[in-house]
Structure 1
Amino acid sequence: MKISQEQVVSRLITLIRLDAKNLFERIKKREIEYLTIFSLKRTRSHFPAVFRSRYNKVGIADLKFLSPELLVVLDEFYETVDKMEWYLTSTEDMPQTVDDRVHFFIKDLQRKYDLLMLYFDGETEDEMEPLPVEDEEMNMSGEFQLEESEDNFEELSDEVLNDLTSS
């Protein structure tokens, strides 16, 4: 079975996307566990399992098929992961300082992960064929009730404003 270059790129994007997702979820969701182990036992032996990634095994020959924008965002995400791993495996800081730094790393990773997912979505949208538009959708009636929408918006805005000022 011969697969096209588009299929290869699509599979590569899917694999890298899954790797980034799983890596980020391990870093974020297991934070309390790995920091507790580190502070109580002062061991670093569990960090390789947290930071396990397949991205390091992807070659440049494969990455050349990705857009330059996606490559930059990928590099920023994985570089931040690498800095966090280096910090945790080499630090001599006290547990509270480590905890604070890890919170900072996770906040930074969250932003970079969200941006990375947006770029992945953009890459996969480019590969998808547009869906055919039904005739009914093209012939939408011009009956748009702007006044109702504005009233609802004003009511919603007042509710949100009241919630914000009361807290």
Structure 2
Amino acid sequence: MIRWSLLLALWAQPSQAALVHFCWAGSSGYTMVGSMEFPDALAGAEVVTEADVTRFKIAGFKDGSPIGTWDATTRAPDDTWYLRYWPRLMQFPTNGEVPGPFDQGWNADGTAADCDEGEFGFNAGNYAQDFCLSGVWVEESGVEPQKPFIAQTTAPTDPECAGPALLSKRRLGR
């Protein structure tokens, strides 16, 4: 009985996970904050993909007001979900840096128009980094595809990405 209780207690322990946060500043007052977790053992990996991520949430804003959220753990089967992340650099590769055929597709594919009614999504492709809102490409949210997109261990201080935790500002060396 004691062994069974010990085994249950070990299973109940939280697994070690790396947690990173990000804040993306688009154009025309559009911003996004988010966080993701993946197994701590992958912190030194070459790349982390959507298959490795155990928790992922994003929230979009226009001029600091919420416009939508998306959570990979509750995603629908037809939701676009692909992610590439360099954990050693704490950077999401963009444009020509992306290893493999996909850029970032977080409930938005390369057209940024495939999120469902009432949903929010983000896409970083070879044309732009931008939003999808209720199945519509939000063109005015877009920035150039090569804009650096970095992450950090502390949460952003505001949804406008203007506080001390400003992200997606500088490129880290590879």
What TM-score do you get using the length of structure 1 for normalisation?
A: 0.24
In proportion to residue count, which structure has more strand? 2
Q: Highest Rg: 1 or 2? A: 1
| Bigger RCO of structures 1 and 2 (CA < 8 A, at least 6 apart) | 1
Bigger helix share: 1
